[in-house]
Each structure stands twice: as C-alpha cells, then as structure tokens.
Structure 1
Amino acid sequence: MQQLISKKMLAGLTLISAISINNSAVAEEACGAAYAIDSTLPNGGRWTLCWEHSLQNGISLHHIAYQPKNGSKQDILYRAELAQVHVPYDDNGARYHDISDYGFGDRNMLGLDEKECPNGSLISYAGKSVICQQVLPRGEELRYQDKSVQGYKLSLFSISQIGSYNYVPRWEFFDNGTIELSVGATGALQRFTAGSQSNQGWPIADNKIGLAHLHNFFWRLDFDLAGNGANDMIEEINFVRDDGGLKAKKEPILVETGRDVNPQTMRTWIVADKTLKNAADSPIAYEIQLYQAGQRDVGPEEEAFTKYDIYFTKAKECERFASHNSNADVCAKDLSTYINDESLEDDIIVWPTTTFYHIPRAEDAPNMNVHWSGIRLKPFDWHNSNPLAGTIR
C-alpha cells in the first residue's frame, strides 16, 4: 500500500508573490488551502492543482485543471505521479526499482533552500521544504511577421536521493495548456569495475570502468477530462501512405493493452472526451507525446513490464507501481499483469514511459551533469483557437 504521512505534520507553506500565484477556493475544494496551488501566469493562463507527499511516490499531484485567458476552467487529470524508476545495470549486478523499493519521499526527499529555488517559493512538509514553485519564462511561444508572444510556465520540482543518485522530478504547466513531466538525474556514478576496457561500460579514469545502465521512467496518469473519467477514450493515430499520400488512420483502443511508438507511421495517441466538443465539433483531447522514445529497453522475461512504450489500463486503486507493485498479494504485480483484456469503457489509466541509456564518460566523475528524461501532454482541440494568439504584440 502507498504509505501516506499525516497531513497534520505540515509545518508551513510559503507563497509565490512575484507573479500572481495564490491559494484560492478552486483547488482548496479538493485538498484544503495547505495543499492547494493556484497560479495565474502573465499571459492569463491559470492552473489549479493539489499536491501530496507519500513515502514511495514522493510528490504526487491531483485535481489538475487549466483555464485559458478569457476561457472556462476544465479538469484534465484526476491524479499524476511518477510510478517507477527502474535501473538495470549491464552486468546484471543490480536491477533497482527505486520508487517502490526505496521511495522518493520521507527521509529520501531532500530539503531545499532559497538558492535552489531562485525567484520562487518553497513549500514545506513536516518542517522540511520539499517543493520549489516558480513561474519561469520559456522563450518565444509564437510569432507572426514582426510580432510575437513570450511564453511562461508554472514549474514545480522536488529532489530525492537514492544511493549515489539525485533525482529531480519536475512538473511544468505552460500557459497554452501543455504539461511536461520530466525527471533529472544527477549526483555520482554508483557502480564500477576495474580495468581499461569493458563491453559493459566505459573507462572514466585509469583502471576504472563506469558500468553502463538504463533509467526506465514510468508515470501513472489518471485522466478526468472535463471532470469525468468515465467519458474518456483512447485513440491511436497512425499516418499510413497510399497512392494519395499520407492518410490518418484513427482507431479506438477499447481494451487494456501496451503499445509502442512507430516512426514509420508517426504513431501518436490522444485521450479524448466522448461528449464535450470544441466550437469545430471536435472532441476536446490531449495528445501524449513520447518525444524521447529514441532509446528502448526490453528486459528479460521476468521484467516483462518493459515490453512497451505506453500502457493503457482500467483504473484500479491497487495498481500503483509499474513494477514491484506492493499489493501483489491481492493485486497484479506489474504492468505486464495489469493488462488482462479488461474494457476501457470506464476510467482509464495511462502509463507513459521513456528510457535513458547512461554510458558513463570521463565528464561524469566525480559528479555528473543532470540529464533529463520526460514526456509531454499537449492540448489537441482542447481550445477553439490558439489561446495565446490574442496576446500577440
């Protein structure tokens, strides 16, 4: 079971004051003022959400909603969390499951200070500052001839230490409705072998081989578009060539399954609402972009949960982690066993993944640069038109 520390242990909450960020009734309805975040960005886009601390997931977010400037608020995600960091080494000497086996919260979550959160605000839990909340510029968002719009985003991050590694889960919410979820990995290399040559690593110093390894990141996303998860559906889109050129082939995914990216067909997936539509009569939706799918890890038979790039399952409270599910005695053990042809007509859970293959290099010692791995959720007919076009100047 997920182990939650009592909310009564909350020590304090500091609010961002530089740009319109405040805790108000929108998010408080779901979680109370101490755990609510309400941020209006300079271009008018507004995000409301709640946060939660747990031993294993670290920081989870829930009741995530977005409101464009001069538009209406719409719910997007009922819950979103990092659901596994799987780290198998090439020599099979270690195959870690960091979220389920060690946990990103409690003592493994580092306390932050103001230097790590410039121009932002620190949010505390149990007397420790655990979240940095910032509003950041993100560069030019759009341009038409000599006029342009600068974009902004709400950024939240925490830092957890597992062994020699520091992980930085980061949640970014753009003023156009886009969400980017990523994890930075830094710290120090953890495992080595002696010698000058190795086919399972790379020489980083005299008689020292840094062992190569993978970071497999899994997220668990419970969509509730327009506030009703039972009305959501998954569509897979492939662009297939025929004599007339490329044509879009849309297929609903009706039962639990795992799927892979396919560069040949530019495959993508959208989560769409079955009833709510935009002004062009298109279902409001979000596209799931696995934009870092260039590296893949399909592990041994006992790690069948690594077989696919993305999974779609029926929502079940006990199916919490991509692997080493701690409810395996009363529930399925990992993603490979969550899939058993159940219907996706009810609430859907989306499990996007991405992989980073870490080949050690001399520059990784004594400390490595942070490397980022992530996914993107992008509005797809969510708006009637570009929500930032009206701010161009």
Structure 2
Amino acid sequence: MSQINPHLQSQSLITPTKQLLLGMSSLILSLYADTAVLAEESCSADYTINAALPNGAIWNLCWEQTLQNGISLHHIAYQPKAGTQQAILYRAELAQVHVPYDDNGARYHDISDYGFGEKNLQALDEKLCPNGSLIKYYGKPILCQQILPRGEELRYQNQAVQGYKLSLFSISQIGSYNYVPRWEFFDNGTMEFAVGATGALQRFTTGSQSDLGWPISPEKIGVSHLHNFFWRLDFDLAGNGANDYIEEINFVREDQGLKAKHEILSLETGRDVNPATLRTWIVVDSALKNQANSPIAYEIQLYQSGQRDVGPEEEAFTKYDIYFTKAKECERFASRNANADVCAKDLSTYVNGESLQEDLIVWPSTSFYHIPRAEDSPNMNIHWSGIRLKPFDWHNSNPLASSIR
C-alpha cells in the first residue's frame, strides 16, 4: 500500500445531503458512526469515505492517489440495511488501459507509461460534480463523491423500491483523451467499476488508407483502435483473503436441460467468457456462510464482453478475458509491469502454475473497439466500458425487500 499522506488538510468527506440524513432512522445513523470508526482503523480521516445511502445501506472505504493508477481504493466494506458490516476488497485499482491502433503506428499502455495520477489528474469543480462533494489532494479537487438515485430496484405487485448508489469518479488527461474512472457502490451490495473515454480523436490518416479507419470529414480518416481495460482486484471476503477461492460455473445441456458444472480453480490461470456454457465465476469465502448454509461469495460479471482483442505474440496478456493469480506485491500492472527485472512482465507471465490457495488477485478486463465516426469530431461523446461485481449468497435474503412488506 502506498504511504498515506498525513499532511492533507482536513475536510468533510460525508456526502449525503441534510435532507437525506434527516430522513434516516436513528438506527442507521448509529450504524454509520460505527463504520466511520472502522474506516479510520485502515486510513486517516482525510482518506476515509463513509456513505450512508437513503434506504439504509452503508459503504466504508479508503482512497489514495498514486502516480500510475490515479485513484486507488482499498479496505472496501459494505453494510446492508439492518445487517452487519463485512469486508469485500482489500484493494481495487485500474491496472492498465491498452490502446493499440489499427495501423500499428501506436500501441499505448496508458497506465504504466503515462500514469493517471499527479499532473494528469484534472482539477474538478462543482459543475462537474453536481450535488456532490469534492475531495482534495494537496488542495487540488481530484475526486467527486455523489449519492445518486439509480432507478427502480425492485417491484412487487403495486409497490416498488427505488435504488441508490455511492458514485466516485476522477478525470485523467492522457494525450487528447479524457479518461473518467468511475467506481459505483449500490445499496444491494453490487459494485460497478467502469472507465469513460471522451475528449478528441488522436490519430488520423488519409483516404488512401480508408481500411484502417472511418472517414469523419473530407480527406480525413480517423484511425480505428481498441481500448483494453484491465482491473486489479484483491479480494478479502469477510476480511480474510487467505480462505477465498475461485469457482468457475458452466451450464451444460444434458437431458434437454441445463446442468451446472462446478470447478474450483486451484492454480493460476487465464479464462475466457463462453456464451455457449453461460460461464461465470464467483469468489467464495470458505469459512463464512449465510443462514441457508451457503458460502458467501461475489460473482464477477463481464457484461460487456462482446468485443475481443487478441494481440500479437508480444502482447500475450490480451489472450484471456480474465486472469486469476497468486497475490504478489510486485505484480501491479496488466502489461509493462514496472518491476519486470525482479518480477514478471505482464499477465501472461504472472500465470506460472502457482497455487491460488493462499491469497489471490482477480484481473477482469473488457474491450471496446472504437470505429471513429463523424459525430466524434471535433469532440467525441463519452463511451463507457466496465465490469460488475454482484453479491452471491452474501445476504440471507434481499436486503431491500423489507421496504415493501
């Protein structure tokens, strides 16, 4: 973990408005105070985020700024409505933005080569963070914290429950691009991590090379390119990563129906999405169970896996959609790892047959193939790429269902 800066000036990081706080019960307020104390055990108050959502859920986490990753989050814990707090992630960060262009004129590794932090982190203001709180680093507002409605969460007959989420985002300028890493935490325990890309197109060619892109104006062709996003997730379910394991589930057609085939992945590996078997993965805690005697877990959903990039041999880290590796401090980036002299160089070499039984890292990825269009000029609309982490038997029942009973 990067060293926490003790000299940052104090500020309030609690974002719900007074109207939301007034609507909460005294029970929720007391639970909120308890989690605030727990957060400060892991980081100083200036780096603590405690958010009580309007319908009773509480998220508790720490943040830090680093040169290459930009904003990293750690010690992420969730408390459902009328439930108890449990730790989920020891650390979560964006681990690479790989951008190869179709003409092979550029193959960027934005996180490791340029970095999302320090001078590349853009200063935010109230217009960019409406109804939210701006969090500062050495006086520079770099992180927006908001409590946002997320629409109808569930409906039963003529009653419905509206959902809410904690949203955190920063903006990093890399070349002509503005990247917007966004971290969202829902009241039902779901997490969605995404990156938005906007700004301006960066590379162009001429009409004689039209097969390398798309015409955006007369005699001007925007070069098509990929954005390969990788995250590094260090799970510590219930506060202990040593007893977590990965289970892969495939649903195979047998006897006219689908039957679940379960496999525990005990060694480091890379795996692909497989639509034919509805493949999914869950991170499972081997010790803690819910009231139905099912182990608590989180499902990893690569819900934007419709596009793929398997690059040349020297970019073997693009071969799989998701990797599972043994936790090592020096294995920090999906590609161009800064510690290659004493550690492995990228995901393809992190996977070397080691056991996942001590502590594991999950490396989900998603790809977006950007075909330029006329509407991308002079500035392109923001396009989002992300992953979802969803509670799987984490609760004894739907934590929000009691609101309509």
Same fold (TM over 0.5): yes
Distance in 2 of aligned mates of 1:115 and 1:171? 19
Distance in 2 of aligned mates of 1:5 and 1:343? 29
Percent of matched pairs sharing the same residue: 76
Q: Where does residue 7 of structure 1 map in the other structure?
A: 5
Structural mapping, 1:83-232, within 5 Å: 83-195=95-207, 198-232=210-244
Code of the aligned partner of 1:247: K
Q: Is 1:356 the equivalent of 2:368?
A: yes
**Any unmatched runs of 5+ in structure 1?**
none
Please say if residues 16 and 53 of structure 2, whose CA atoms lie closer than 8 Å, have aligned partners that are also in contact.
no
Q: Where does residue 81 of structure 1 map in the other structure?
A: 93
Structural mapping, 1:1-393, within 5 Å: 7-15=5-13, 16-18=15-17, 19-20=20-21, 24-195=36-207, 198-392=210-404
Distance in 2 of aligned mates of 1:348 and 1:8? 30
Q: Where does residue 27 of structure 2 map in the other structure?
A: none
Code of the aligned partner of 2:207: G
1:323 partner SS: coil
Distance in 2 of aligned mates of 1:244 and 1:280? 29
Q: Where does residue 24 of structure 2 map in the other structure?
A: none
Q: How far does residue 126 in structure 1 lie from its aligned partner after superposition?
A: 1.3
**Any unmatched runs of 5+ in structure 2?**
22-31
Q: Where does residue 29 of structure 2 map in the other structure?
A: none
- Cα RMSD, aligned residues only: 1.4
Distance in 2 of aligned mates of 1:390 and 1:40? 18
Distance in 1 of aligned mates of 2:304 and 2:404? 31
Code of the aligned partner of 2:83: G
Code of the aligned partner of 1:170: R
Distance in 2 of aligned mates of 1:354 and 1:11? 37
1:77 partner SS: strand
Please say if residues 85 and 218 of structure 1, whose CA atoms lie closer than 8 Å, have aligned partners that are also in contact.
yes
Q: How far does residue 40 in structure 1 lie from its aligned partner after superposition?
A: 0.8
Distance in 2 of aligned mates of 1:88 and 1:152? 37
Q: How far does residue 196 in structure 1 lie from its aligned partner after superposition?
A: 6.6
Please say if residues 196 and 207 of structure 1, whose CA atoms lie closer than 8 Å, have aligned partners that are also in contact.
no
TM-score by length of 2: 0.94
Change (3 A) 1:237 1:125: same
Deviates more, 1:13-22 or 1:181-190: 13-22
Deviates more, 1:12-21 or 1:196-205: 12-21
Superposed CA offset, 1:53-73 (max 9, x none): 000000000000001111110
Q: How far does residue 391 in structure 1 lie from its aligned partner after superposition?
A: 1.1
